[in-house]
Amino acid sequence: MKKSVLNWIGRTVAVTAIAAAAATTGWAQSAGGSSVDSEFARELKLVEALKVYNAQLKDQIAAQSKANTEIQASIQSAQGLEPQVAPLLGKMVSALDKFVKADLPFKLEERQKSVNLLKNLMVDTTASTSVRFRSIMDIYSAELEYGTTVEAYDSVLNIDGQETPVDMLRVGRVGLYYQTKDQKTSAMYDNTNKTWKVLPSSENREIRKAIKVAAKTVAPELLSLTINAPEGA
């Protein structure tokens, strides 16, 4: 009897152990299956994203190829226009040279130097048409700006045969003035006669004030300056 009870207990323990093992194995397989499914889903999403990215790259390459073709066509077209552009650039430099010589003589040495550099560039065989054109337009832009600005700067003029330091005042292209450093003599350039005309001493104060405004050492204000009458007036 005792032996039968022991056998029964042994069989019960064995069945319980087998059931527990089976349950553990089933859980492990279930957990493993879930992990594989998740990994597969992630990989699938990555593949789809790569497909979209590749499609975008394909469109970009096609667009770049088209742009490259258009650029090459433009280059070929520009090369055909070069013989026509070169004479135009020469005329632009010549016109600029004449303009500077006829204009008010402010910063004359500096401006003539710029024109001479353009002349040298026009005969420089290593310079491309685009470089020549860009350089000419830079000088044209600078000359255009002179007409809309005021400026004060130091200079040295030959006054009565003596080199004299002065303060220069440029008001656009309307007027060009100088005042000696002692502020006792002021003059205005007469572009018609190409000479300096000394102004009455009563105008020294107004010229000095204008110089300070142009130099931005005082706040802008309304000024009263003598100017040349327009030609033909």
Given a contact cutoff of 8 angstroms between Cβ atoms, the answer to whether 96 and 139 are in contact is yes
The count of residues in the chain is 233
Which amino acid, 76? Q
Residue 44 confidence class, pLDDT cut points 50, 70, 90: confident
CA distance 100 to 89: 17
Among 16-25, 32-41, 53-62, 116-125, the range with the most confident prediction by mean pLDDT is: 116-125
Reading the block at residue 140, the tokens are 């044209």
Q: What is the mean pLDDT of the chain?
A: 83
165, burial (CB in 10 Å: exposed 0-12, middle 13-18, buried 19+):
exposed
> Taking 80 as the threshold, does the pLDDT of residue 93 lie above it?
yes
Does the pLDDT at position 70 exceed 60? yes
Q: Inform me whether the pLDDT recorded for 229 exceeds 70.
A: no
Q: Please state the rounded mean pLDDT for residues 40-63.
A: 83
CA distances from 161 to 154, 157, 164 (A): 19, 9, 9
Q: Which two tokens stand for residue 171?
A: 């008001």
- Reported confidence tier of residue 2, pLDDT bands at 50, 70, 90: very low
Which pLDDT belongs to residue 184?
94
pLDDT in tens, 144-179: 999 999 999 999 999 989 999 999 999 999 999 999
State the pTM of this model. Answer: 0.64
Residue 21: what pLDDT? 47
Model pLDDT, residue 116: 97
CB-based contact 184:201 (threshold 8 Å): yes
